[in-house]
């Protein structure tokens, strides 16, 4: 076995050495205590086999488990087999006994080490998949940002240039419309900044972990509507939910942002005169939020990729320029970080977006 060269491998070597030595010493101490009470080599051998399993499970590679197997066989022969404190494998029956013990311990060690290595490889594979998913989400977000930033900025520059260059020739209504366009694009940029800040809160530690507190769903919904009405004063939202109090672990600010994004999309893009509906209910250990609109629905070809943050496939009208884009991608990121799921589908009168959050005591690991 070559000596470790790097500080990381040296540290792992010292740790594995400490685990091996500590486990064998502990097994020997218990074995001496047991021998003072009963003289049974078989049971003493079992103590060493338990130590070998512990060593193989908690060290890296096969070396330590195999070394511990050989050391255990020698220790049983030297300390606990007559004549004591001497090696003697030639006694009647002992060669077969110790060869069998060595074979069993070696098989146990290699099997346990193999399982440990498989567990480590699976863990690394899962980590690589998570990193790949994060990279995919970053790419989608960057694509959405490049599109959604360019479009309103182009509108602001174009409207302000028209006003500055031709202001004297424009009528009051034309001037008011230009200023209105600048105002709307500015509001859209502000909304985008809020969404990006939400993503920053999730990713500030380099992972998708968030700090959750148990919140009343009714209060979070009410705060989201209040914030929405500051942005869209004439927003008409109807909420239906159970009479009983629903509590769920969440980051309330992030979930409010999800609700605002979904409700604003429904108001701006459904082209409906009816109020949007928010329905909240519990099911199978989750609280479900559904935002219904009663308008044109979603192109079926976009349903599978609507949360990817790609707004480039929308038509190029001014309304579409302020498309769902980054908002829905961020909704998915926030909900996934909470251990929930989000989906979009059409119903007979429009579209519905539904996301779920685990109730207290049923949180799941963040998934896809």
End-to-end Cα distance, the chain = 42
User: Could you state, in order of their start, the residue ranges of all structural domains in the chain?
Assistant: 7-126, 209-358
> Residue 362 corresponds to which tokens in the numbers above?
């049923």
Rounded to two decimals, what is the model's pTM? 0.54
Tokens representing residue 315 in the block: 């038509």
pLDDT at 364: 45
- By CB atoms closer than 10 A (0-12, 13-18, 19+), residue 127 is exposed
Candidates 81, 75, 83; CA nearest to 102 is 75
- CA nearest to 298, candidates 352, 253, 246: 352
Contact (Cβ atoms closer than 8 angstroms) between residue 16 and residue 60: yes
Cα gap 208→336, rounded to integer Å: 8
In whole angstroms, give the CA distance from residue 335 to residue 346: 20
List the chain pLDDT tens, one digit each, 368 residues: 555 556 777 888 888 889 889 988 998 888 888 877 766 666 787 888 788 878 877 777 678 877 887 788 788 778 877 777 777 666 655 566 666 666 766 677 677 777 777 888 888 888 888 778 767 766 766 666 666 677 678 888 888 888 888 878 888 888 888 888 888 788 777 777 776 776 666 655 445 567 789 999 999 999 999 988 887 888 899 999 999 999 999 988 889 989 998 998 898 888 888 999 999 999 999 999 999 999 888 888 888 888 876 554 444 444 444 545 567 888 888 898 888 999 999 999 999 999 999 997 665 443 43
Which class is 209-358 in CATH? alpha beta
The three-state DSSP-derived secondary structure of 132-153 is: HHHHHHHHHHHHHHHHHHHHHH
Question: 306 phi and psi, to 5 degrees?
Answer: -65, -25
Q: Which is nearest to 291 in space by CA: 330, 265, 271?
A: 265
* pLDDT given for residue 366 in this prediction: 39
């Amino acid at each position: 076995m070559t000596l470790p060269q790097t500080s990381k491998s040296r540290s792992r070597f010292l740790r594995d050495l400490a685990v091996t030595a500590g486990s064998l010493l502990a097994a020997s101490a218990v074995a001496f205590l047991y021998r003072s009470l009963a003289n049974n080599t078989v049971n003493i051998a079992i103590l060493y086999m338990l130590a070998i399993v512990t060593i193989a499970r908690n060290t890296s590679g096969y070396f330590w488990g195999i070394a511990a197997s050989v050391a255990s066989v020698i220790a049983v022969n030297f300390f606990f087999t007559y004549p004591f404190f001497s090696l003697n494998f030639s006694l009647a029956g002992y060669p077969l006994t110790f060869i069998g013990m060595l074979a069993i311990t070696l098989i146990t060690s290699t099997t346990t080490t193999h399982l440990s290595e498989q567990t480590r490889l699976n863990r690394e594979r899962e980590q690589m998949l998570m990193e790949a998913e994060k990279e995919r989400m970053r790419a989608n977000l960057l694509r959405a940002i490049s599109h959604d930033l360019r479009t309103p900025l182009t509108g602001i520059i174009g409207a302000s240039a028209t006003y500055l260059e031709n202001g004297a020739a424009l009528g009051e209504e034309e001037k008011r419309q230009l200023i209105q366009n600048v105002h709307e694009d500015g509001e859209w940029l502000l909304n985008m900044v809020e969404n990006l800040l939400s993503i920053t809160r999730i990713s500030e530690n380099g992972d998708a972990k968030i700090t959750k507190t148990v919140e009343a769903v009714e209060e979070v919904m009410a705060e989201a509507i209040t914030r929405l009405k500051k942005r869209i004063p004439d927003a008409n939202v109807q909420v239906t939910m159970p009479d009983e109090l629903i509590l769920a672990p969440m980051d309330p600010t992030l979930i409010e942002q999800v609700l605002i994004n979904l409700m604003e999309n429904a108001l701006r893009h459904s082209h409906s005169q009816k109020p949007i509906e928010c329905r909240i209910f519990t099911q199978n250990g989750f609280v479900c939020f559904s935002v219904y609109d009663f308008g044109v629905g979603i192109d079926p070809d976009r349903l599978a990729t609507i949360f990817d943050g790609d707004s480039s496939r929308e038509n190029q009208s001014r309304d579409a320029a302020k498309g769902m884009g980054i908002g829905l991608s961020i909704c998915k990121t926030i909900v996934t970080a909470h251990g929930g799921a989000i989906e979009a589908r059409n119903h007979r009168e429009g579209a519905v977006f539904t996301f779920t959050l685990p109730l207290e005591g049923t949180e799941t690991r963040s998934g896809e």
